[in-house]
Amino acid sequence: MKKVGYLGPRGTFTEAAAQKYCGGSPAELVCCPGLPEIVAAVEGGQLDQGVVPLENSTEGAVGQLLDLVARASGIMFCGEVVLRVQHHLMVRPGTPRSRISRVLSHPQALAQCRNYLARQLPGTDAEETVSTARAAELVAACGEPWAAIGTHLAAVNHGLEILDSGIQDSVENATRFIVLGRQDAEQEPHCRTSLVVEVRDRPGALYGILREFALREVNLTRIESRPVKKRLGQYLFFIDLEGHRSQEAVKSAIQSVQRKAANLKVLGSYPRDLEAESADPAGPAQILSDIGEIRSEIDLVDSQIVDLIAIRAALVEKIGPMKRDPASVRDPAREEQVLDRVRAVAAEKGADPELIGDIFRYMISRSVERQKDVLRNSSIH
């Protein structure tokens, strides 16, 4: 029987996610005290898998988990579970709402019920706990008229009475949990792939990464930045995309990104939680369906092309003063090397190599004239 760890204590949304993930299959659910312990236990083989929270629709990503998986060497994502979050206000049996003097819960749960608390319990003290289950445990053990915000499971486990249900501010509040393992999943019809990418510190580096997916029509579903923690201003980007890493378009994009990035790590490919997606009133992303939408996309691409040409022109401008005189500006061998390279890239990307060659030949000629002008002006002054 496989052992599946989850972030404890008992009665949390993570336990509910682990129960949903295991379904009817035999598994031993193991309550773990923290995210580092789950990652270490999966990596070391003490657990077969671990279910951990990755992101919430209103409060964002769990930064600690992102940092842990970025450093872990033997961890891969092998599944996901999305739970609609329903918070409950729970008290010791017989405690009236009018006597509640303090509300306890996890910081995210308190934040997700901020409007409800302001309306129903104005001026009541809020106290943060390590989990919603711990809040229920403290309320059950205390003789004071306190309340907890948490799950139905926590109320049952600790014998508490539920005063109000569905008190979260957003009806679309959902938490996405990721399943950690030592290998990811086989290709299925509906998969997601997660990556962590460290970009090089130079202009347009992130755009250069993202465009590889756009060129291959690989849909990105999430991008999140985290500091590398080596020096200020250096970041890792966590990227989720549709498709399995073995699919041709995804595989090709990852290979191209790997050549451009300072570092790339495939966190794994795994089945999407389609049950959660089908419940989403917004539904899946719509394919561009009319000429107006397609033209809007063309306009966006045109703007990006202009941005890149401007960046290239600025770099060329820096080179000009480094040359001796206008006669030394031309470098025919270098120009042919550039043209050969861009024609080869065009062929690889499915563009017309001759068209791309003509465009670059024109840009090079304009760059040469600009560098000559810079040198002439500098010699005059």
Over 80: is that where the pLDDT of 280 sits? no
Question: In this predicted structure, which of 165-174, 188-197, 324-333, 336-345 has the lowest mean pLDDT?
Answer: 324-333
Residues 27-54: tens digit of each pLDDT: 999 999 889 999 999 999 999 999 999 9
Q: pLDDT tens across 64-76, in order?
A: 888 888 888 889 9
Top-confidence range, 52-66, 69-83, 278-292? 69-83
**What rounded mean pLDDT belongs to the chain?**
86
Going by C-alpha positions, the residue among 8, 102, 94 that lies closest to residue 50 is 8
pLDDT at 232: 67
pLDDT of residue 119: 95
pLDDT at res. 283:
47
What is the mean predicted confidence (pLDDT) over 291-308?
77
Rounded to two decimals, what is the model's pTM? 0.68
Q: What is the pLDDT of residue 326?
A: 67
For residue 129, what pLDDT is reported? 93
Distance CA 113, CA 226 (A): 27
Buried b (16+ CB within 10 A) or exposed e, 230-253: eeeeeebbbbbbbbbbebeebebb
Lowest mean pLDDT, pick from 60-74, 136-150, 218-232, 278-292: 278-292
For residue 178, what pLDDT is reported? 95
Write out pLDDT tens, residues 111-142: 999 999 999 999 999 999 988 989 999 999 99
pLDDT tops 90 at residue 173: no
| Complete domains list, the chain, with CATH | 1-85+173-183 (3.40.190.10), 88-163 (3.40.190.10), 188-274 (3.30.70.260), 291-380 (1.20.59.10)
